């Protein structure tokens, strides 16, 4: 088991170690493999998905920090910040743009899409605009 586990650089979990052992003709149950691996502290490294979303741009196009890294506000709707994140789903990547009010810490605008084009962000900004107009 140790040889199989080490040959994977610590990536294989107990199921994959069991599969490799079975392929080599070694008969052992999955539960036994899991137990022995746990006893010895052999835990699989989790591989994280990587998706490049930020591409360095021209330094002249970088926007100024208009709020001076002060993420507080006294009045709702006066300071909003946004972000884009991405989530891996069974059907591919889902992109989520959010706008947060710094006073209430509420998500006041959001948008989801299968792409990261400008319409993703403008949808979230429209929703936030409608929220600030209502308060």
Q: Give the pair of three-digit tokens for residue 114.
A: 């299968």
- In the prediction, which pLDDT does 74 show? 95
Per-residue HEC secondary structure of 49-111 comes to CCCCCCCCCCHHHCCCCCCCCCCCCCCCCCCEEEEEEEEEECCEEEEEEEEEECCCCCEEEEE
- In the prediction, which pLDDT does 123 show? 97
Q: What is d(CA 42, CA 55) in angstroms, rounded to the nearest whole number?
A: 37
Q: Going residue by residue through the chain, which has 135 residues, state the pLDDT in tens, using 9 for 90 and above.
A: 899 989 988 889 999 999 999 999 999 999 999 999 999 999 988 766 666 766 666 777 777 888 888 999 999 999 999 999 999 888 889 999 999 999 999 999 999 999 999 999 999 999 999 999 998
Q: Count the alpha carbons within 13 Å of 128 in the hemisphere toward its beta carbon.
A: 26
- In the prediction, which pLDDT does 53 show? 66
Give CATH 3.30.160 domain extents, the chain: 59-134
CATH value of 59-134 in 1.20.140, 3.40.630, 3.30.450, 3.30.160: 3.30.160
User: Could you give phi then psi for residue 68, rounded to 5 degrees?
Assistant: 60, 35
């Amino acid at each position: 088991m140790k040889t199989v586990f080490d040959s994977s650089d610590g990536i294989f979990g107990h199921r994959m170690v069991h599969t490799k052992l079975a392929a080599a003709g070694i008969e052992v149950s999955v539960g036994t493999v899991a137990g022995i691996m746990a006893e010895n502290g052999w835990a699989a490294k989790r591989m994280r998905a990587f998706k490049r979303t930020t591409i360095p741009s021209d330094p002249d196009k970088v926007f100024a920090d208009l709020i001076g890294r002060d993420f507080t506000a006294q009045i709702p709707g006066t300071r909003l910040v946004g972000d884009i994140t991405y989530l891996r789903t069974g059907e591919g990547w889902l992109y989520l743009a959010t706008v947060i009010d710094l006073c209430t810490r509420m998500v006041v605008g959001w948008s989801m899409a299968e792409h990261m084009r400008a319409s993703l962000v403008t949808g979230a900004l429209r929703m936030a605009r409608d929220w600030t107009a209502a308060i």
